[in-house]
Structure 1
Amino acid sequence: MYAPVHCLEGYPVDFAGRAVDDADIFATARAVTDWVRRWAERPLPDSEIDFIASFLAVSTHRDADGEGLDPAVLNVVRDCVLRLDEHFLLRLYDGDESLVGLAIHVQDMLARLRTGQRIDRPFGVDFQLGHPLVHELSVYFSHAVETALGVEIPCAEMDFLALHLGSRLQQLMDAEQQVTITLVVPRFGSVADDAVRRLNEGLHGLAVVERLVTEIVPEVSRRPSDVVVTAVELDVDPSVPVVRISPLCTRNEVDAVRQAVLEERQRAQRHQVWSALVAFTDERLFVHTKSQLDRDDALRTCHSLLAREAAVDDQHLEDVFDRERRASTAFGGRFAMPHSLYMDAARTALAVLTSTRPIPWGGHEVNLVIMMAVSPRDRAVFRDVLDELVRILSDPAGVDALIGAGTSYSRLMETLRELVIG
């Protein structure tokens, strides 16, 4: 019965060890566990206090209005977020008020680090696998903070920074990836307006009705949106997904539209990934080996492919090693995607290495390595492709198929195309 406490905060069941020595925090944590014990009518283990105390230690709720925030910390956070925006072509910064929670968290984090206090990693490697771009933002932001303030930020703290950065990123990405809808519905009383309202409310920002067609004989192919939602039969195929609804647009029909919107977003993202793969890799950037390699061998091999094609210089390899030291770029699905923290390649290119023998890579073994080198003009490629490519490669059956086809470039790309766009 005590699972709701730590599950809500995302801590693992085997969490142990006190993170802080703040008496007020532990008093509050004990009060919470006492309340839950009375509510559940069951005793709670002492470790629950540590769960809640660690959450309170990193929580910004105590000073959400910014009172007590050191202006110097806010200045550093602002500079680091602006650098993050420029590097990844984002708009995370939206005035200083948008940074208060993150800045308070950084201020509390600095206090913990300078007094030797530590928190356990709350989400483990699964968080990186599920949100690789957010993890990458956190790594870059942490590096900027480390450089500015002369501290070393451990992985556990990076995960909490990722929560702050990821929540803002999700808002931006949802807005940028918004699907457009053409709605075809008769103009009868408030029927059309009600349908628009129900769809906009039910889709929660995933899509927007950009065009309302109320003609008796509609023509929708002149300006097709991403998805067509219609209450009437269409004589002309709009060449986009079509969802049939009733004029009253019921809740179930809104759910069907939502599903079509999600599928359209996924289709567009997958085509974007495939376009990048076709544009930025070729047979000269591919190698298959039967030799036993370690991680560093694999990194040097991929870098040599990129350097041979004049995509990177010697410094790139040092930057890749530096990025790898900060956090592993290997994922649980037998693949790794090493890269530099910097997007300063002479041209964007992807080097692909497949290995018959597993390559030890931290706590993983990988058979597929894709090294990304990104030029300044293609920064959006890294941002837009990373999450979706990792998601595609995280299917164990798909990676097995790739590794099986990885003895030749043509077979690998044919298999990869099938995985990416079907």
Structure 2
Amino acid sequence: MRRNKSKDILDYFINHYPQSLSIKKISDKFGVSERQIKNYIKQINENNSQKELILQNDNGDYFLCDDFRDMTKETSHPEYLPKERVSTIISMLVLSDTPINIFDLADELYVSRPTVESDLLKVRRTISPFKLTLDTKNDVVSISGTEKDKRRLVSYMITNETNSGLMNIEQNKFLNDSYHVDFIKDNLRIIFNQCNFVFNDYSLNNIVLHLIITIDRLKSKCSIDEVLPPNLTTHVEQQAARMIADFLSKNYDVAFSDYELRNLIIFLSCNLSTVNYNFVNEKNLSSYVSSESNYLARLILLKISDYYFLDDFDEIFATRFILHINNLLKRLRSNFSVRNPMAKDIMKTYPLIFDISVFVADIIQQETGYVINRDEISLIALHIGSFIESSKANKSKLSAIYVYSDYHQIYQYNITKLQKKYSDSINLMYSMSVEDFYSSNFSVDMIISEHPLDKGNPIVVSPFITDNELDRITNYTEHLIKQKDIKQFDISFQAMFNKNLFFRNVEGNDEFNIIENILNKIEPFDYFNSTFKENVLQREKLSSTCFQHGIAIPHSISQQVNKSFISFTCFDKYQQWGDDQVKLVIIIGIAYHERKIFRSVFNHLVKFFTDQASIQMISKCRTYEELVKTVSNLQKE
């Protein structure tokens, strides 16, 4: 069996200590490229948790650090999780200039050949959205596709392996070398300011990532040579691209061909603008966007307003959204996309907003044929979320009355303060005297009074309301809203869930097969027509409904649903669901005429299962009755 090359290279350094070794000498010794040797050295250093074992001197040669003996005593081969193995295999295949033997992959990962072959199936699934294929022949494997698509894959892998919201790619296993991000950023800012571009952190980070990948690939003699689609670019974009190409050529010793330069010009046109969008309004909008973008964006807003029962969108928001869709279409036509390191966080933290954005992506796909990735969906979510969060009508408001002592209308001070602080959560319907309160009959959620009252359980405040009293009102408001939400969910839950919709261990080959198998069990009860399955599966293909580890909520609002329903499927063992795993699958089907309830049901379920303990408790339920009782008990906590 072949030995692990990383270990062989480390042993080679140890045997030649304290000599410095040139990269060419090591490459000749092991019969692999200099680029691969650099990757092995990087891997050795990354596997050591203390500090780098192998260092580089000013001449570019490599040598062992002085205390390598103490460090190598504790160094053992890395234990990769399945997801890490897939990522590592992709890294090795992308960076290699020759096909890699499957046995070499097994040795590098310290696993068996069957394990590698299983991982390669996941690799194939990961790279397929980028129009790349995995070629396996005579025990060697490689990735095939255009250079541009390989760069798109590298960009995706780097972004998805970044745990923080900030882009940290100074050292990354998908790159051959390390790069100083701030140095590149600072020089880009100078160029962009000279060209009068308007840019933000998102666009700057995306451009830096694109350039670092470009540099790394060009240094490895991997260049774009395909004809790019036509794209209208401006003189200033062409000028900026040439300035950037000159800067990179000077500092990184890379040459930009006409194809590479054209690619950079188009990329800049999709990520930068000389227009300050603060000056764009309804009257001059047509000067900045295409009629296609205008039509598509307004169609989207009309559909999501109807589908999710949102307030009408004001023209200021509509203008910003149309501009975003216009830029998105430019990127899609040029086969570019932005990367958002916070995409996964947005999906998990704001699942309803993300779900609305997936619906937007579906409309775009139906209208244009373009498939929208998760990063682009998350940027749409930022726009949709800004509207929903600022829309007072879409918040759950409590009704209230204020009871006062009519003394020179001093109570108006408290009224003004309450309206200002609680405008999003309390609808202060009436203010009245104590005498009027007792002679009237009102049904409201809350009574705030300057006097103790013997009915209505009021919150008593002083004539000049204090901060402590405001805190009490805030706590009570949150309690009432929670109870109101629970009551509303309970009504829907009782109407939509019954014994016929509870299942256990309905397994499948993947998430799509699991969904199909569950729906096959529900189908005889006439909750939906046959095409409903296609709707749910299509939604899952657009973006995973596993918003939280342990649980997936496949769903659809459809005219193919005869009666709204919720089904629960519990599993004894975790089931693979895309990149995650689940033990609980809740399928929601909402009849189109009842679509108003979707937001409250979906939001409540997502909030309810943010706690892993709740997911585990529900997944262990053996019967319908036990599940209903567990849900009821958890709601009381």
- State the partner residue of 2:603: 387
Aligned partner of 1:112 in structure 2 is: 331
What is the CA distance between 1:173 and its match in structure 2? 5.8
Call closer, same or farther: CA 1:110–1:159 in 2, change over 3 Å: same
Q: How many angstroms does 1:341 deviate by?
A: 6.0
Q: SS at 1:330's partner residue?
A: coil
Residue aligning to 2:587? 371
Q: Report the residue type matching 1:335 in the other structure.
A: I
SS at match of 2:584: strand
One-letter amino acid of the structure 1 residue matched with residue 432 of structure 2: V
1:230 aligned onto 2:445: no
1:408 is matched with which residue? Answer: 623
Amino-acid identity (%): 19
- Structure 1 counterpart of 2:145: none
Cα pair distance change 1:305/1:15, threshold 3 Å: farther
Give, in whole Å, the separation in 1 of the partners of 2:367 and 2:565.
31
Q: Are residues 1:130 and 2:316 paired?
A: no
Q: Is 1:139–2:353 an aligned residue pair? A: no
Is 1:50 aligned with 2:50?
A: no
Alignment-derived partner of residue 546 in structure 2: 330
Do structure 1's residue 249 and structure 2's residue 469 form an aligned pair?
no
Distance in 2 (CA, whole Å) between partners of 1:59 and 1:91 is: 31
Q: Which residue of 1 aligns with 2:292?
A: 72
| Secondary structure of the corresponding residue to residue 402 of structure 1 | helix
* Worse-matched range after superposition: 217-226 or 281-290: 217-226
Q: Where does 1:296-375 land on structure 2 (aligned, <5 Å)?
A: 296-340=512-556, 342-375=558-591
Cα distance in 1 for residues equivalent to 2:202 and 2:306: 42
Q: Which amino acid aligns with 1:62?
A: N
Residues 30/73 of structure 1: CA separation in 2 closer, same or farther (3 Å cut): closer
**Residue 62 of structure 1 corresponds to which residue in structure 2?**
276
Alpha-carbon deviation of 1:277?
A: 1.1
Q: 1:61-109: CA deviations, max 9, x gaps?
A: 8323144122331111111211112222223434x44410000011111
Letter in 2 for 1:177: S
Q: In the alignment, which of 27, 35, 55 is matched to residue 189 of structure 2? A: 27
Contact 1:186 / 1:216 at 8 angstroms: preserved in 2?
no
Count of residue correspondences: 389
Q: Secondary structure at the match of 2:330?
A: helix
Other structure's SS at 2:339 match = coil
TM-score by length of 2: 0.56
Runs of 4+ in 1 over 6 A off after TM superposition: 28-31, 51-54, 58-61, 290-293
For residues 11 and 365 of structure 1, do their structure 2 counterparts lie closer, same or farther at Cα, with a shift above 3 Å needed? closer
Name the counterpart of 1:43: none
Secondary structure at the aligned position of 2:340 is classed as: coil
Following superposition, the deviation at residue 322 of structure 1 comes to: 1.3
**Aligned residue number for residue 306 of structure 2:** 86
What secondary structure sits across from 2:555 in the alignment? Answer: coil
Structure 1 stretch displaced more, 215-224 or 185-194: 215-224
Contact persistence 1:58–1:109 (CA under 8 A) = no
Q: Which has the larger radius of gyration?
A: 2
Please report how far the alpha carbon of residue 133 of structure 1 lies from its aligned counterpart in structure 2 after TM superposition.
1.3
* Aligned residue identity for 1:13: L
The residue number in structure 2 matching 1:419 is 634
TM-score by length of 1: 0.83
Q: Is the 8 A contact 1:355 1:368 kept in 2?
A: yes
Q: Hey, what does 2:418 align to over in structure 1?
A: 199
Letter in structure 2 aligned against 1:352: F
Measured in 2, the distance between the counterparts of 1:257 and 1:129 equals 30
> Does the CA contact (< 8 Å) of 1:328 and 1:362 recur in 2?
yes
The one-letter code sitting in structure 1 at the alignment partner of 2:470 is V
CA distance in 1, matches of 2:606, 2:273: 30
Matches of 2:516 and 2:572, distance apart in 1: 18
Gaps of 5+ in 1: 1-9, 32-45
User: How far did residue 355 of structure 1 move?
Assistant: 1.0
1:214 is matched with which residue? 433
Distance 1:322 1:226 in 2: 41
How far is the alpha carbon of 1:233 from its aligned partner? 0.9
SS in 1 for 2:503: strand
**8 Å CA contact 1:339, 1:373 repeated in 2:** yes
Aligned residue for 2:420, secondary structure, equals helix
Q: Which residue of 2 aligns with 1:5?
A: none
Question: For residue 397 of structure 1, what is the aligned residue in structure 2?
Answer: 613
Name the aligned partner's letter for residue 261 of structure 1. Answer: T
Shift of 1:364: 1.7
Q: Measure the CA separation in 2 of the matches of 1:116 and 1:290.
A: 39
Cα pair 2:618 2:630 within 8 Å, conserved: yes
Looking at structure 1, the residues matched to 439 and 614 of structure 2 have their Cα atoms a distance apart, in angstroms, of 38
Aligned equivalent of 1:186, options 376, 397, 405: 405
Give distance in 2, aligned partners of 1:261 and 1:233: 19
- Distance of 1:58 and 1:377 partners within structure 2: 43
Say if 2:512 and 2:540, in contact at 8 Å, map to a contact too.
no
Residue 412 (structure 1) shift: 0.7
1:153 aligns with 2:397: no
Gaps of 5+ in 2: 1-162, 171-178, 180-184, 194-200, 210-269
User: Which residue identity lines up with residue 307 of structure 1 in the other structure?
Assistant: E
Paired residues of 1:131 and 1:387 also in contact (CA < 8 A): no
Cα contact 2:308–2:596 (8 A) shared by 1: yes
Partners in 1 of 2:391 and 2:340 — Cα distance? 26
- Choose 193-202 or 312-321, whichever is displaced more: 312-321
The letter of the residue matching 1:171 is S
Secondary structure of 1:147's counterpart equals helix
